[in-house]
Every structure is written in C-alpha cells, then in structure tokens.
Structure 1
Amino acid sequence: MLKKFWKFCALSLALVIVVKAGMGAESEDRPNFLLVVFEDMSPHIGAYGDAQARTPVLDDFAAQSVLYEQVFTTAGVCSPSRAALLMGVHQQSIGAQQMRAQQGVTLPDGSRVPYTAVPPPQMKAYPELLRAAGYYTSNNGKTDYQLDLSITGGPFTIWDETNAGHPWRGRGDDRPFFAMVNLVQTHESRNFPLDLDPDSHPITPATLENLRRERAGRETGIEAGHDPATLELPPFLPDTALVRAEYAQMLDNIFHTEQILARLLAELEEDGLAGNTIVIVTTDHGDGLPRAKRSLYDSGLHVPLMVRWPDGRGAGTRNGELVSFVDIAPTVLDLAGVDVPEWMTGRIFLGERAGPERGYIHAAMDRHDEVPDYMRAVRDHRWKYIRNYRNDQPFFRHLAYRDMLRSMQELWRLEAAGELPPHIAQYFTGNRPGEELYDLRADPYELNNLAADADQAAQLDRMRAAMARFDARTPDWSADGELAMVERMWPDLERPETATPSFERLADDRVALYSATPGASIGYRIADGPWQLYTGPVELRPGQTLETKAVRYGFTESQIKRVKG
C-alpha cells in the first residue's frame, strides 16, 4: 500500500511538471537568464555613487539597466546567503544558517561532525524548477549552498552542468537557459598579501596559488589606478598604510574582475542572444573586510543589483524599493513563466506581477567557522534593529581565516597597544549589547547605538514588533542550538541516504521512475549520456540501458539502478 502511495505521489508531481514544461515549451519568448554574482563586494561602483571605485564596465552596464539601490542579503557571509538565494527562503528556516555546515557541529567531547542542511521535502532550488520546466541550467564557480559536504558539490538534479567550459554554449540545443556565473576574484581571500605565511591556515597554500595565477592572467595594458594614499576609508577601519594597501587591492580586484563581465556580455552579442536574455548582476554579500563580511551591518548586507532587460526597458533608471535576496528566486521563476511555490517567502519585485514593496528586510548571523554566534536583524528604509542572543562575547574574536587579512592583523595590533579610537575599540573591549538600534539616515556606518536612547523608544518598539512578526511566521532552527538541529536532520548524527529509485514498465516502451524517499529528486541517463532530470515516463527502446538515481537535498545520493530496455 505504501509503495503504491509513493508511486502516486511521484507520478502526480511528474505530471504537474510535465504540463508546466509543455506549456512553457510552446512559448517562443521565454527569456534566457544570465546571473552574474561577484563575491564579497559592497556597492563599490561608480554608478552607485562610489567616486573612488574605477568601474567603467559596471558603470556602462548600469546605464543599460535598472539599478536597485536598496538590496540586502540575508547574511553577511557566503554559504548562508547563497542558500537563501538558491531556495527563496531564509537560511535559518532550512538548517543552512551556520558558516559552514561542512566544518561541523561541535559535540560535547569537543569533536566536530560535518553535516548538510536538509530542507523540508517539498522545497526545491529554483534552478531545478526551471530545469523541470525545460530550461538548460548551468553554474560556473562555487555552489556552496550547505546541501552537500563540498562547497563545489550539491544535489546533481539542480544543474545540467556545473563548471562547464562555457555558461550557455554547452547546451547543444535551442532550450532557453539559466546560467549562473560566480566570480571568486573579488573574494576576501583575494585581499590577502602574497607574503602570507603558508602555515597560517590549512588552505593558505591553495589561496596563494590562486592569487598568483589570477594576477598573472590579468589583461595587460590596463591598470586600476587605485592609489592607497588618496583613498577614504570607512570609519570602522583603522587608518594605517597596511589597511590602505588592502583597501586599494580590494578596489583593484573589482576593476579587473569586471572584465569577465564584459566578456560575457560580448559573448551574448556574438551568439545573437542579447535580445532575449535578462542579465542580472549582484554580489553574494558585502565587502570581505572586518566588520563588513560576517556582520549584520549594512557593510555586510547591502549589495548592488542591476537588471538589464532585453528590450532596454528602464535603462538608466533607479529603484529605491527594499529588495531581499529571497526575492530573486520567485522573481526569476515568474519571469520564466514558472509557478512560484507557496513555500517561497520572497516577493516578485519586477515584471508584470511585481508585488507590493516589502516594509522590512531580515537577516541572520550564526556560527562563523570555529566561532559560535546567534544574532538577528531587521531593517526598513531608515532604521536597523539587531538582537544579540549571545551578548556575553565581544564582536571581534579570533577567527583564523579572517585573521589572515592585513586589516584584521592591524586591528589586533592596535587593540593590544591600546591605540584604537573608542568607536572601534568597543568591538574588542566589551560584551555586545543585547540590542542595537541605528538611524541609518544620520548614521550610515551604524556606529551610534540608540537602543538605550529614551527619545527613540517608539522606534525601538516598532522594530522589535517587526522582528517578532517575522519570527512568528519563520522557523528559526538556531533556537534550540546547532547540535539539536543537526540531530533532527541527521538522526544519530548519520547522514540519511536517499532510497534507490524503483521503476515500472508502461506501454509503448516507456518506463516510470519512483523514489520512496519523500521529496527526492530523480535523475536518469540512457547509454551513458548526460544525467537528465526526471519529470515523467521515459522512452526506453529495446537494447538500451537506463541508469537512474535519486537525491533528497542534504541526503546522500541513492545507489544507481540499471534498467534494460
């Protein structure tokens, strides 16, 4: 009886997907999508008002696009932010909020167990939903969604190809495409000095190799021209020669990395695809600098987002609505003509079915590598409220990876010497307050906490209420601690395995596939061809061999089953 039930569920889902894919396939105007994600980059773009940043490519792209001024990620660090981007829900509601899950939860004996996030069974990454609707989906660069034990792995059903030779040219047919390109060249690690001690961190040798290779591969004859001596630093960083050099290097990295965007845009033109491709450019969170990355301040959450329409609509205009990273998934699905699942919490922010502007954006901060944490934030156009659930610790604690930055080393040196100004020293010398409140109009760098200011009591109560409403409708899997969460996702701290698919032979040489694991996605291939996403019965001719496997997000892939035609 149970087997028949799972067969019915799988067949019903497949039929729904096939109908949707068939409807989409009849339309000749389904757009392509190119999503370009710079890493670790706040809006250091001339078009965003940064007069110090030399970004001619991004400025030119902005002139062709709608520029969104108030876009915020759901975390100030990559893995949790990318999980929210991919799934269209906040990372703490699916077990993907710690940085990183793969580095492990700490057990009572001090050992660590790596784990994966296991979202509820009905949830699928939006590129997989696009793939089910007939799109070719590709990813270049890291995946890093916390759904696998590798930052370059992940459920095999999400993408047709990962790290292919080219983002869209490998599709081999006329299917519309969704191509995601991640540009690691602006990552925090690219701000490390070349003379870094190779023993300072386990990944330092590989990082230094990447740095040297990328710099050697930069185009000759073009110079970023960011002079450390003339730069204005944000007030949360100390003004020293080493910090200035690092800040200039960060801006140089952006300048050189935007050349990759220029090549991608030129290739769209060469292939005759620019007239039917929506291009979205953003970043995965704010700057790879202390008190930016890994924070809930705007320096860690505020990112650029520009959308270029094929027909040029809105080119050169600006939009000041609040946009959250969880809004990207439902927006892309809607533009592609794919139904937006009810479980997605974001809003459609552009296109004919754009919803009303959101009143608030929400963000979360949890463990970073070896340093535990638990903070939540809510922001509107003017005010930011932060709740510190672990206010028994200062903001800055030693974090091995971050400590490789020259700016962080300078912060530690100056703190030890007692030479930091009070507004920076506070991040070292005292425990964090339980609550923080900032007037972003008067205090854009969030240095003056107004939570204890009686004149702002009404604003504090209003923002507390906004956070409470969000908490009431959004599960927070950090509430009971990381270990309790992992034990729910991985019973006995063992990674669950997806059940091997079963099959049923149908008429006309067709085969139907099923999995007994709720929420499992099924893939198949014939004659050692590429893995395809299963959406309905497959033709299997006499003499052919079909291979099939399944995966529930966060689980181990199933064993492969072979079926002879």
Structure 2
Amino acid sequence: MASKSIFFRFIFSGFFIVFFSACSNKKSSVTDKKNTPNIILFVSDDHGIDALGSYGNSIIKTPNLDKLASEGIRFTNAYCTSASCAASRSVILSGLYGHATGSYGHVHDYHHFSTYDNVQSLSKRLSNAGYLTARIGKYHVAPESVYVFDEVLEADPRNTVEMANASVDFLNGDKPFFLYFCTDDPHRGDPFNPEPWDAPNNFGNKKEGYVGVEEVIYNPKDVLVPEFLPDTKETREEIAQYYQSVSRIDQGFGKLMAHLKNSGKIDNTIVIYISDNGMAFPGAKTTVYEPGIKLPCIIKDPTKTNKGITNSARISWVDLTPTILDMAQVDFNSDDFHGKSFYNILDTEKPKGWDKIYASHTFHEITMYYPMRVVIDGDYKLIWNIAYPLDYPFASDLWASSTWQAIYRNDQKYFGHKTVEAYINRPEFELFNLSKDPNESNNLANSDQYLDVFNAMKKKLKIFQQNTNDPWLIMWDNDASLQGTGVNL
C-alpha cells in the first residue's frame, strides 16, 4: 500500500508540475500585470495651440490643463493628419491615414464616409488585451463594429463637468481601463447661420450656462487675434466665445482629474490631452496650414521622471495608436500602422530622428472635394493642392461665420496676412520655410533658388503615398482619363 501511495503521489506531482509549467508559459493578459497603466485619452473638438495658457496665451484661463503640462510633457510640434473632425478621429483610433481606410471625410448625415470593416481599431485591440474600454461624448467615426467600446457613457458633450461625473463608476472599476473622453467644445454651435449676419457664434455657450460649470466670460477687447485672422470686431467677438468654450473644457478636465485622484488611481494612469484639429475659423480648420493641423498635445505619465518639459519631436496623430499600445504593454506588429510609437522618446526634450511628418486631407463635407497632401521635413513644408483649379471650398459653418462675412460682405482685399484671392484660389504647390516664415506667407515653389528642395520634397511625398496606398497617387500624371479605371498602385 505504501508503494502505491508513493506512486500516485509521484504521478500527481508530475501532473502538477506539467500543468503549472504549461500555465506559466501561457502569455499573460494585461490583467495579470501589476503595473499595467490605466489610460485616459481626452480629445477636444477644434482646439488650437492658440488658446492654452501653457502654449503661451496670457489671456485665456486654463489652469487645469496648464497643471497637466507642468506635471507632464508638452509637445511643441504635434500634428493631426487632417483638419476635419471625423477624418482626424479615424486616424487617432486606427494609426492609419484616412485615404487608406475610406475615412475621407465626415461620417454623419449625407456625407457617410466610413472606415473599412477589416481595420483593427485601438479600442478593439485594447479590449482584446484585457482592458475595459469606454467612450463618452463625441464619437463621429463609423462603423461602430470597427470603433467598438465595451461601455458607452452618457452625458452632455458640451458639459465636461457632467461628463466627468458620469465617468466616476468607470474610473473605480477593477480592471485596467482605457477612457476615450471627447467633448463637443469648443466646436461652433447652432445656429451656424446667425441672424443678423454679424452676430458671433456661441461656440456652445449658453446664457443660462451649464450645471456645475462656472462660466468664464472674456472681453473681446482682451483676446489675442492670431496673425492669420483679420483683427476685426467680429473676429474678436467670436474668439471671446471660443475662449469661453475652452475654459469650460478646462473645468471639466479638472473635475475628471479630481475623480481620478479620489479613485486612488492617479499614480497609475497615463493622461493624454489633444484636439482633433485647429480652431473653427477660416484659415485653420479644414486647411493644412499650421493653424489647422499643429495642435496641443500634453501627456502625463507618472512613471516618467522628467516633468514639466517640452518635447520638440514632430509627432502625428497617426502615431497615437501604436504609442498607446506601447504604453499599455500590448504587443503589436509595427507594420500594421502607418505611424510609429513615440513612447521611448516621450520625456526627451530634443529627440533625434523626429523631424518629419505627413498630412492627408481629402474632404470635410462631401461637397468639399479638395484633396491636399503635405510633407514637413526639417525647415520645409510642401503642400500639394491636387484639385487646385477649383476654388477652395468652405465648410458651411465657416462660410457663415461673422469673421468671414465681415470680410466678404465688405469686399476687403485681405483676410489676415493673406489676400482673399490667395486664400480661395491656390496654386498647385505651396512650399514654405517654416523657420523663416512660420505664417506661411512666402510661397517658394516657383523659386529657382529652391528648385532642389522643391523636387526633393515632391519625391518624399510620392514615396509616402506609395507606402500608404494613397489612391490619389495616380494624380501625379495629371491624366483625368485614369480616374475610375481600377488601376492598381
């Protein structure tokens, strides 16, 4: 009997060793990792670097976002790929340029652009890896089967305080989480066609205010007018409304951070603040000029030792998905994305090899066909206006804005530092030296002195289009007969 007992103990022990060994060799999910970070991606709507204290605006009040910058990393050369809400958000959540995924423009109403259903989104990848994912506020991507989240939280997207309060239970959950927190502010608000025409848009502000929000009111005389805009009464009135909307974002952000602290998870949560595109004024939103695509990006990672620094790396929203997967310790194939992770240079002030980005805009509204492709490398920026024989199309809300109408109705020659003619009728190519001409006023594309630079930049743009399966690559030959022929790139 003793020998049998020893035999069975040996067999059982061997089974346990084999079983334990098999289990230990199984790849662990994020829920098995003690130090797996939570991640909050906070995305505002039409917020440029012009309206943040931490980016140099001395008038606007954004204390909570400024605190995030003082405790984290502020990027000074961060870019979206398309200055259009839906197109930009598809890139943020996929790591792929919109021209390669079918996300050419707006998804809603009759526009109906939609991402191909084989795309693996950030939220889906994180959910598959064991994260609990949730979204709240503006969505503006399609289809939902691609951009799927485990939970959808409900709140008024114009009231970020209410949004923050609606996120409390999610923040207090047991699993590592990814929260996609998207405001409607400071997007222009209804009505887009004001009556009278010179009434400023409200940018979502209401006379009665919002519950839980202490509205910050600005005097139009005090606002800072960017050089690309005309310094008029109408412009100043609209910027004052825009500032008020931004300050509402800041209050909600502060409330969200307070809830995160109360959850006990603030020291294990990476917080990212970005915008989808630049301010909703002509010359910024829907353009690929700097005010439209150069945006705020502030990241606080509690594990990083460098705090309150600026990072000069040129990064793009196409880099966000691989970067966030890196932050989350989720394995991925880098070939799945057009962007690349910048997590390893996050707290480096002047990282080498991060001086080039691309942009790709095709539509805003479906009636606004005006594809543009951009490369920025070092000091130089090249814009290819593929449909340059057409007048530059206006988004409906920007056309009706009192800022534009004050110029249009009074037959003014200039809109900011550009002529109205130059703004509406653009050349095929625009080449700028951003270090000497940050306002993009002096087009060097036709200068013999810059011919070598011009040709080199065009070559880079073509290679970019080839590498990202851009259907508009075909247009370099300028042969309209090839359109719709099914030519393979």
What is the TM-score normalised by the length of structure 2? 0.81
Contact 1:98–1:367, Cα closer than 8 Å, also in 2: yes
Which residue does the alignment assign to 1:31? 37
The CA distance in 2 between the partners of 1:362 and 1:162, in whole Å, is 32
Offset of residue 115 of structure 1: 5.1
Is 1:406 matched up with 2:396? Answer: no
Deviations 1:400-455 (A, max 9, x none): 2322322122232133x6576782322456x3101001111122121221111222
d(CA) in 2 for partners of 1:193 and 1:260?
28
* Aligned match for 1:344, one of 337, 340, 347: 337
Aligned partners of 2:48, 2:36: CA distance in 1, in Å? Answer: 32
**Is the Cα–Cα contact under 8 Å of residues 65 and 306 in structure 1 kept in the other structure?**
yes
Question: Match for 1:346: what amino acid?
Answer: G
User: In 2, Cα distance between the equivalents of 1:31 and 1:232?
Assistant: 38
Q: Which residue of 2 aligns with 1:460?
A: 454
User: Contact conserved, 2:189 with 2:204, CA < 8 A, in 1?
Assistant: no
In 2, are the aligned partners of 1:293 and 1:299 still within 8 Å (CA)? yes
Which ranges in structure 2 are unaligned for 5 or more consecutive residues?
A: 1-24, 156-165, 476-481
1:139-198 per-residue CA deviation (whole Å, 9 max, x = no partner) reads 0112212x23xxxxx22772011234633623774110000101112113379687578x
Rounded to whole Å, the distance in 2 between the matches of 1:64 and 1:421 is 36
Distance 1:66 1:419 in 2: 38
Matches of residues 247-262 of structure 1 in structure 2 within 5 Å? 247-262=239-254
Aligned equivalent of 2:163:
none
Change in CA separation of 1:208 and 1:432 when aligned onto 2, cut-off 3 Å? closer
Partner residue in 2 for 1:394: 391
Match of 1:433 in 2: 427
CA RMSD in angstroms, aligned pairs only: 3.2
In structure 2, the partner of 1:298 is 290
Pairwise mapping of residues 7-86 of structure 1 onto structure 2 (< 5 A)? 22-43=28-49, 44-86=51-93
**Cα distance in structure 2, aligned partners of 1:175 and 1:234:** 44
Counterpart of 2:264 in structure 1 is: 272
When residues 432 and 67 of structure 1 are mapped into structure 2, their CA distance, relative to the original with a 3 A threshold, is: same
Matched with 1:185 is 185
- 1:189–1:439 Cα change, 3 Å: farther
Question: C-alpha offsets along residues 34-63 of structure 1, whole Å, 9 cap, x if unaligned?
Answer: 111111011121221223333222111110
Tell me the residue number matched to 1:229: 221
CA positional deviation for 1:101: 6.9
Deviation at 1:305, TM superposition (A): 0.8
Matches within 5 A, 1:94-493: 94-100=101-107, 102-104=109-111, 114=112, 116-119=114-117, 121=118, 123-145=119-141, 147-148=142-143, 154-155=144-145, 158-164=148-154, 166-167=166-167, 169-170=169-170, 173-189=173-189, 211-212=205-206, 215-217=209-211, 219-220=213-214, 223-224=216-217, 226-311=218-303, 313-341=305-333, 342-351=335-344, 357-369=353-365, 370-395=367-392, 397-415=393-411, 423-427=418-422, 431-478=425-472
Q: Which amino acid aligns with 1:270?
A: N
Give the SS at the match of 1:162. strand
Say which SS state the counterpart of residue 286 (structure 1) adopts. coil
Query: In 2, are the aligned partners of 1:477 and 1:485 still within 8 Å (CA)?
Result: no
Match of 1:544 in 2: none
Structure 1 runs, 4 residues or longer, greater than 4 Å off: 190-197, 207-211, 352-356, 417-422, 478-481, 484-488
Residue 306 of structure 2 aligns to a residue whose secondary structure is coil
Cα displacement (A) at 1:347: 1.2
Distance in 2, matches of 1:218 and 1:247, equals 23
Identical residues among aligned pairs (%): 25
Closer, same or farther: CA 156–383 of 1 in aligned 2, 3 Å: closer
Aligned length, in residue pairs:
438
Aligned-partner Cα distance in 2 for 1:359–1:137: 33
Deviations 1:73-108 (A, max 9, x none): 01011111001110011111111022347524xxxx
Q: Which letter does structure 2 place at the counterpart of 1:347?
A: K
CA contact (8 A) 2:172 2:263 kept: no
**In structure 2, C-alpha distance between the alignment counterparts of 1:318 and 1:421, rounded to whole Å:** 29
What residue ranges of structure 1 are gaps of 5+ in the alignment? 1-17, 105-113, 149-153, 201-206, 489-565
Structure 1 residues 19, 463: CA separation in 2 closer, same or farther (over 3 Å shift)?
A: farther
Using the TM superposition, give the Cα deviation of residue 362 of structure 1 relative to its aligned residue in structure 2, in angstroms: 0.8
Of 458-467 and 433-442, deviating more is: 458-467
